[in-house]
Chains A and B, each alone.
Chain A
Amino acid sequence: MSFKTVFTPAIPAIIAANAPKIVAQDVNVYYGEKSAIKELSITIPDKAVSAFIGPSGCGKSTFLRSINRMNDTIPSCRVTGKIAFDGMDIYDRAVDVVELRARIGMVFQKPNPFPKSIFENVAYGVRIHGLAKDKVDLERIVTESLQRASLWDEVKDRLAHAGTGLSGGQQQRLCIARAIAVNPEVILMDEPCSALDPIATARIEELISDLKQNFCIVIVTHSMQQAARVSDLTAFFHLGTLVEVGDTDAVFTNPQEKRTQDYITGRFG
């Protein structure tokens, strides 16, 4: 495979400016015989939002899921190449996957709160990872996480109520609170707003901009406008290849690759 990703500009400013958090090198992902990702190399900067865009089946979610080894649960899935997280090879045999997923959290397309109270939804991960010293500490972590997810004011009087009783947008923010409660370094978001209305979407986007002060955020989105609004780095995937990576400002005003241009301007055929 001799495919080469185009960088817009040659070294995107955000990659040059921020520390690298995740560095993928020559990554291939296979589902059985089928190759889903081909020779992918990318550096994902810390304390920034990176967006993966591309048509359905382009491999963006597959790659996102290989960053915290969610693909391990699919028996036929095989990953080659190297994905380094703070320099550590995440596919190294010595890696504890549970611990890895605590450091690289994930938020899914459909909000999926546990069928438990709002409090328990956030406290659960903290407890199983043994991150709280005592009950007071646990309450502090839950409160802070809900505050950071901008949900606190809406739920502080009903923490014992079921998480599933919240609205869709609130549920998604609850899932984000749950993800950040275990103090991750990276948050992966797989179309976090596609099931939400525009107001709830705007809240999540506002939250994403807040969170990038402290986290490395990677978001897969079908909404190009959303990628343009929230991200610093944009990566365009097509047919399992990473076609173009660049500063979001450059990619959406002056993409270098024809395929990127066709996709973001709505010409793809």
Chain B
Amino acid sequence: MSDHIVKAYDSDLAQLKSMLSEMGGMAEEQLAKAIDALIRRDLKLADSVIAADQLLDAKEIEVEERAVLTIAKRQPMAQDLRNVMVTIRIAADIERIGDLAKNIAKRSHAIYDGIPQRLTKGLERMGQLSQAQLKLVLDAFASSDADKAMDVWRHDEDIDALYNSIFRELLTYMMEDPRMIGACTHLLFATKNIERIGDHATNIAENIYYLVHGYMLKEQRPKNDKTSVTPFSSLNND
């Protein structure tokens, strides 16, 4: 897209975009560290994630203020207006991703060292998937690539499917050995957090779609998370 006649307007928008990219990078790092901390029960790393979350929160406020200022000063129209609105929304999603990562890190404290490694295998896999999704959607934003964003949107189903199977797996462990219930419950919450991070990535993807096309995506996202509608008793019967 060509430049604005007023150059300072271009740099306002460019700055918003780079602030958001920075936020995205911070969230990616937080998520990676949080999952790593939980899997390895690295409490020091976990604490650093917990502490760093406030930086992300502060950054979100900064982005929001900058966006409001841009609206007030430039009265953006059309694509520029969508750009600023979408920036505000994506910043909120990234901030939530940060919160969820922090929550995952916190659970490192609650899981004792002795749990069998196999318990965290699924979570590790799910973590990798969500990190890849987050990276892809942030790339899609950086290049305003709606098709790439839609790839992320469609593939959230994979995270949901994995969450389903981990849910069943962890329940099975709990039934087999009640001493595992504490650790497994925390792992269950951690995987649920990852599943929700995936949802935030799809929100971001929908916003990129709106930014590029100028109208909201009407299609319903394919969902594969059946854990909230499956009765406990039927979980091991199929």
Residues of A within 8 A of B (CB): 224-225, 228, 252-255, 261-262, 264-269
Contact = CB atoms under 8 A, between A and B. Distances in A.
A252 B75 CA distance: 11
Interface string B75-97: 11111111000000000000000
Nearest to A264: B77
Contacts of B6: 266
Nearest to A260: B78
Contacts of B5: 266-269
15 contacts: A224-B77, A228-B77, A252-B77, A254-B78, A254-B214, A254-B215, A255-B78, A261-B79, A264-B77, A264-B78, A266-B5, A266-B9, A267-B5, A268-B5, A269-B3
A49 to B, nearest CB: 18
Interface string B1-14: 11111100100000
Given A253-B214, A254-B214, A254-B215, A269 B78 contact: no
Contact of A265 (B80, B214, B215): B80
Contacts, number: 42
A228 B5 CA distance: 20
A261 B4 CA distance: 11
Interface in B62-112: 74-82
Nearest to B9: A266
Interface residues of B, number: 18
A268 B4 CA distance: 7
Given A254-B214, A266-B6, A269-B2, A225 B78 contact: no
A267 B4 contact: yes
A114 to B, nearest CB: 37
A50 B39 CA distance: 63
Contacts of A254: 78, 82, 214-215
Contacts of A253: 77-78, 81-82, 214
B168 to A, nearest CB: 45
Given A253-B82, A254-B215, A265 B3 contact: no
A264 B79 CA distance: 10
Nearest to A266: B4
B214 to A, nearest CB: 3
A266 B75 CA distance: 10
Nearest to B215: A254
A61 to B, nearest CB: 22
A207 to B, nearest CB: 23
A243 to B, nearest CB: 14
A261 B9 contact: no
A254 B85 CA distance: 14
7 closest A-B pairs by beta carbon, nearest first, are: A254-B214, A264-B77, A265-B80, A266-B4, A267-B2, A265-B77, A267-B4
A109 B98 CA distance: 55
Contacts of B77: 224, 228, 252-253, 264-266
B91 to A, nearest CB: 21
Contacts of A269: 2-3, 5
A185 to B, nearest CB: 32
B78 A261 contact: yes
A235 to B, nearest CB: 16
A265 B4 contact: yes
Contacts of A267: 1-5
B23 to A, nearest CB: 25
A244 to B, nearest CB: 11
Nearest to B214: A254
A54 to B, nearest CB: 14
A265 B75 contact: no
Contacts of B79: 261, 265
A224 B74 CA distance: 12
